[in-house]
Structure 1
Amino acid sequence: MMQYSSDSRTVAPPHGPMSEEETGDEQPENESAVEEKPELSLEEQLSEAIGRAEKAEAEIGYRDAEIVNMRRRFATDKAELMKYSGYNLAGKILPAIDNLTKALDAAEDGPLADGVRLTKENVIQALQNEGVTPIEVGTEFDPNTMEALTTLPASEEHPDGSIIDVLESGWMYKERVLRPARVVVAKE
């Protein structure tokens, strides 16, 4: 409850005068509690500014190097994409070549077989012009370009690790394996 003084112009709180917390007027207990930053001399200010400038310059150098590296990576990736842009299409054409091969194996000699043979040769030539080449299957199994679908016991005719049969021809697209040759391998 508020108490009024006799002249009714001043109002005092019910429990005496207001404290610092109530008024919001805080007085520093000690003048040294308020730290004042000492003024730097011109040389110190200059030295500090030069330090900040050198740090900013180094940061800009790092970012410039990052940008150069990123541009180099993008250029390399773009060249790689351009180089292998026909990879998927070539892979989709290979089953057609396999079907033409099967048709030739089943066909009797004649004009129809000649037409199929010519078509197969034209498709293979077009693929070779774009960098698609058949994987040469030698006598030894190469896990980089071949896939062993099955193994058979080794013999004198087919020593361990040699190729007994080619089930599906393999193809390269430039330096990449487009489809591994699927083979039967002799194993001891």
Structure 2
Amino acid sequence: MSDMKVTDRRWWARGESDGPAEVPSLKPTMLEELEARIAEKDLEIQQLLTKYRGASDEFEQARARLRKEVGKDVERGRRSVIVAFLEVLDNLDRALEVGAGPGSEGFVQGVALVRQQFISTLEGLGVTRVDPLNQPFDPAKHEAVSTAPAASPDHDGRVIGVVRPGYVMGDEVLRPAQVAVARS
């Protein structure tokens, strides 16, 4: 016989593997670059969304603070106007005291009605008149304009007379009461 040798080069005939040799990636490098850029942009979008949400929250907090400040400013303005009108009320009280003579009943009734309407309007705004008579002196609510000897040691430091009434609006003192205080 002859010494001829045949080599079968087919891959399945060699028994090297069950399938074709591993094929290199057929994905173009441009596509890989685009996918990487998309991933970067997705990350950037997420970061921007986080910043936007933070800025939006900060804006809402600033809006709430501004609303509070505007409310406080309005309340301060309202209080200053009311304090100015308290002097008018004091003058109405003085007019009633002076006009209580013979023949002036009509005048006194008219001023008394105006005074009562004025007090009702102030009460509608939340203003309350303070009557500190016989209460302990409180420098936050009272202004001592005079002192007098105390009738007993129990009356020491108590309000024994009111020169001008005080007014409060809620918990805030609009005008302290001017009072006389007993001292031992």
Q: How many residues align?
A: 148
TM score, norm. by length of structure 2: 0.62
Are residue 73 (structure 1) and residue 65 (structure 2) matched? Answer: yes
Paired position in structure 1 for 2:114? 119
Higher-Rg member (1/2): 2
Cα gap change, 1:121 to 1:157, in 2 (>3 Å)? farther
Cα gap change, 1:81 to 1:122, in 2 (>3 Å)? same
TM score, norm. by length of structure 1: 0.61
Q: Give yes or no for contact 1:158–1:186 (8 Å, CA) kept in 2.
A: no
Distance 1:187 1:60 in 2: 66
Are residue 181 (structure 1) and residue 173 (structure 2) matched? Answer: no
Moved more, 143-152 or 116-125: 143-152
Deviation at 1:175, TM superposition (A): 3.2
Deviation at 1:156, TM superposition (A): 1.2
Distance 1:63 1:98 in 2: 53
Q: Give yes or no for contact 1:150–1:184 (8 Å, CA) kept in 2.
A: yes
Deviation at 1:187, TM superposition (A): 2.6
Are residue 130 (structure 1) and residue 125 (structure 2) matched? Answer: yes
Unpaired segments of 5 or more residues in structure 1?
Answer: 1-41, 43-48
Unpaired segments of 5 or more residues in structure 2?
Answer: 1-32, 34-40
In percent, how many aligned pairs have the same letter? 27
Paired position in structure 2 for 1:154? 150
Q: Aligned partner of 2:125: which letter?
A: E
Deviation at 1:97, TM superposition (A): 0.8
Deviation at 1:123, TM superposition (A): 0.9
Moved more, 104-113 or 177-186: 104-113
The list of structure 1 runs, each at least 4 consecutive aligned residues, that deviate by more than 6 angstroms after superposition, is 49-59
Bigger share in helix: 2
Alignment of 1:1-188 (within 5 A): 63-108=55-100, 110-138=105-133, 139-156=135-152, 159-188=155-184
